Amino acid sequence: MKNIISSSLLLLLFLTACSHLPQAEQPTMTETGRSTPTASMTSTSQPTEPIEPSYIVEEFQGEALEIVNLINLRVQYLWEDNESEYSKLIYEDSPLQSFPLYKITKLKLTSEINIQEHKNVYQAVVSVQEYRMDGDQHNKTYVLLKSKENNGVWKIQDID
Protein backbone atom coordinates (compact mmCIF):
# COMPACT_ATOMS: atom_id res chain seq x y z
CA MET A 1 0.00 0.00 0.00
CA LYS A 2 2.88 2.36 0.82
CA ASN A 3 4.33 1.71 -2.65
CA ILE A 4 1.06 2.64 -4.33
CA ILE A 5 0.74 5.86 -2.34
CA SER A 6 4.37 6.89 -2.89
CA SER A 7 4.13 6.01 -6.61
CA SER A 8 0.94 8.06 -6.89
CA LEU A 9 2.58 11.04 -5.16
CA LEU A 10 5.61 10.83 -7.45
CA LEU A 11 3.37 10.64 -10.52
CA LEU A 12 1.33 13.61 -9.28
CA LEU A 13 4.52 15.58 -8.59
CA PHE A 14 5.90 14.74 -12.04
CA LEU A 15 2.70 15.79 -13.82
CA THR A 16 2.53 19.03 -11.86
CA ALA A 17 6.13 19.86 -12.72
CA CYS A 18 5.58 19.11 -16.40
CA SER A 19 2.57 21.38 -16.57
CA HIS A 20 4.72 24.33 -15.43
CA LEU A 21 7.40 23.92 -18.12
CA PRO A 22 7.43 26.66 -20.77
CA GLN A 23 5.54 25.63 -23.87
CA ALA A 24 7.14 25.94 -27.30
CA GLU A 25 5.55 28.74 -29.25
CA GLN A 26 3.51 27.58 -32.17
CA PRO A 27 2.69 29.65 -35.22
CA THR A 28 -0.84 31.03 -35.24
CA MET A 29 -3.24 30.27 -38.05
CA THR A 30 -4.71 33.12 -40.08
CA GLU A 31 -8.16 33.18 -41.63
CA THR A 32 -6.67 31.97 -44.91
CA GLY A 33 -5.18 28.94 -43.21
CA ARG A 34 -1.59 30.16 -43.40
CA SER A 35 0.53 30.00 -40.31
CA THR A 36 2.26 33.14 -39.12
CA PRO A 37 5.07 33.18 -36.60
CA THR A 38 4.53 34.88 -33.28
CA ALA A 39 6.50 38.02 -32.43
CA SER A 40 9.06 36.27 -30.27
CA MET A 41 9.67 33.67 -32.99
CA THR A 42 10.60 36.35 -35.53
CA SER A 43 12.80 38.49 -33.30
CA THR A 44 16.47 37.95 -33.81
CA SER A 45 19.11 39.12 -31.44
CA GLN A 46 21.44 41.33 -33.40
CA PRO A 47 24.56 42.82 -31.91
CA THR A 48 24.02 46.41 -30.94
CA GLU A 49 26.14 49.07 -32.57
CA PRO A 50 28.35 51.06 -30.26
CA ILE A 51 27.03 54.58 -29.74
CA GLU A 52 30.44 56.06 -30.46
CA PRO A 53 33.95 54.78 -31.06
CA SER A 54 36.54 54.26 -28.36
CA TYR A 55 39.36 56.75 -28.95
CA ILE A 56 43.01 56.70 -27.95
CA VAL A 57 42.98 58.20 -24.46
CA GLU A 58 46.54 57.65 -23.28
CA GLU A 59 48.28 60.76 -22.01
CA PHE A 60 50.57 62.49 -24.48
CA GLN A 61 52.19 65.89 -24.69
CA GLY A 62 53.35 68.24 -27.40
CA GLU A 63 53.72 66.82 -30.91
CA ALA A 64 52.62 63.33 -29.84
CA LEU A 65 49.36 64.76 -28.45
CA GLU A 66 48.70 66.58 -31.76
CA ILE A 67 49.26 63.32 -33.67
CA VAL A 68 46.97 61.28 -31.43
CA ASN A 69 44.29 63.98 -31.69
CA LEU A 70 44.59 63.85 -35.50
CA ILE A 71 44.15 60.06 -35.55
CA ASN A 72 41.16 60.37 -33.19
CA LEU A 73 39.64 63.03 -35.47
CA ARG A 74 39.98 60.68 -38.43
CA VAL A 75 38.01 58.03 -36.55
CA GLN A 76 35.39 60.60 -35.52
CA TYR A 77 34.87 61.85 -39.10
CA LEU A 78 34.63 58.28 -40.41
CA TRP A 79 32.04 57.57 -37.72
CA GLU A 80 30.06 60.69 -38.64
CA ASP A 81 30.40 60.10 -42.42
CA ASN A 82 31.86 63.61 -42.59
CA GLU A 83 33.85 63.46 -45.81
CA SER A 84 34.50 67.21 -46.06
CA GLU A 85 36.16 67.46 -42.62
CA TYR A 86 37.94 64.13 -43.17
CA SER A 87 39.58 65.45 -46.34
CA LYS A 88 41.06 68.37 -44.38
CA LEU A 89 43.08 65.86 -42.33
CA ILE A 90 44.85 64.47 -45.40
CA TYR A 91 48.14 65.88 -46.69
CA GLU A 92 47.88 67.54 -50.12
CA ASP A 93 50.02 65.00 -52.03
CA SER A 94 48.67 61.96 -50.24
CA PRO A 95 47.81 58.72 -52.06
CA LEU A 96 44.68 58.58 -49.87
CA GLN A 97 42.11 59.84 -52.36
CA SER A 98 38.83 58.18 -51.37
CA PHE A 99 36.71 58.32 -48.25
CA PRO A 100 36.67 54.92 -46.49
CA LEU A 101 33.29 53.25 -46.05
CA TYR A 102 34.10 51.38 -42.84
CA LYS A 103 33.73 52.57 -39.26
CA ILE A 104 36.36 52.10 -36.57
CA THR A 105 35.04 51.20 -33.14
CA LYS A 106 38.31 51.15 -31.21
CA LEU A 107 41.97 52.11 -31.62
CA LYS A 108 45.09 50.89 -29.88
CA LEU A 109 48.63 52.18 -30.39
CA THR A 110 51.00 49.28 -31.01
CA SER A 111 54.21 51.30 -31.29
CA GLU A 112 55.80 54.48 -30.04
CA ILE A 113 55.27 57.63 -32.09
CA ASN A 114 58.51 58.13 -34.01
CA ILE A 115 59.10 61.72 -35.19
CA GLN A 116 61.93 62.60 -37.56
CA GLU A 117 63.02 65.93 -38.97
CA HIS A 118 63.60 66.26 -42.71
CA LYS A 119 64.57 69.24 -44.87
CA ASN A 120 61.06 70.73 -45.32
CA VAL A 121 58.86 68.62 -43.08
CA TYR A 122 58.63 66.67 -39.87
CA GLN A 123 57.56 63.08 -40.35
CA ALA A 124 55.84 60.89 -37.77
CA VAL A 125 55.24 57.16 -38.00
CA VAL A 126 53.06 55.15 -35.62
CA SER A 127 51.48 51.71 -35.73
CA VAL A 128 47.86 51.38 -34.71
CA GLN A 129 45.51 48.44 -34.36
CA GLU A 130 42.05 49.32 -35.66
CA TYR A 131 38.96 47.43 -34.57
CA ARG A 132 36.22 47.88 -37.14
CA MET A 133 32.44 47.70 -36.94
CA ASP A 134 32.37 44.46 -38.95
CA GLY A 135 34.50 42.77 -36.26
CA ASP A 136 37.75 42.77 -38.23
CA GLN A 137 41.03 43.97 -36.75
CA HIS A 138 43.61 45.69 -38.92
CA ASN A 139 47.19 46.66 -38.10
CA LYS A 140 47.89 49.98 -39.77
CA THR A 141 50.94 52.20 -39.98
CA TYR A 142 50.16 55.91 -40.09
CA VAL A 143 52.61 58.26 -41.78
CA LEU A 144 51.99 61.89 -40.88
CA LEU A 145 53.70 65.04 -42.10
CA LYS A 146 54.00 68.57 -40.76
CA SER A 147 55.37 71.31 -42.97
CA LYS A 148 58.08 73.55 -41.52
CA GLU A 149 56.60 76.52 -43.37
CA ASN A 150 53.90 78.80 -41.96
CA ASN A 151 53.54 76.98 -38.65
CA GLY A 152 52.36 73.81 -40.38
CA VAL A 153 49.94 71.37 -38.80
CA TRP A 154 50.11 67.58 -38.75
CA LYS A 155 48.28 65.85 -41.60
CA ILE A 156 47.98 62.23 -42.66
CA GLN A 157 50.25 61.40 -45.59
CA ASP A 158 49.50 57.68 -45.83
CA ILE A 159 48.03 54.72 -44.00
CA ASP A 160 49.47 51.31 -44.83
For 62-81, the pLDDT digits (tens) are 999 999 999 999 999 999 99
**What is the value of pTM for the model shown?**
0.68
- pLDDT per residue over 12-66, tens digit each? 444 455 454 444 444 444 444 444 444 444 444 455 666 788 999 888 999 999 9
φ, ψ of residue 59 to 5 degrees: the values are -85, 125
- How confident is the model at residue 88, as a pLDDT? 96
Residue 134 to residues 19, 101, 111, Cα–Cα distance (Å)? 44, 11, 24
Q: Select 62-159's CATH number: 1.10.3860.10, 3.10.450.540, 3.40.50.300, 3.40.50.970.
A: 3.10.450.540
Handedness of CA 117, 57, 111, 60 (dihedral sign): positive
Domain boundaries, the chain: 62-159
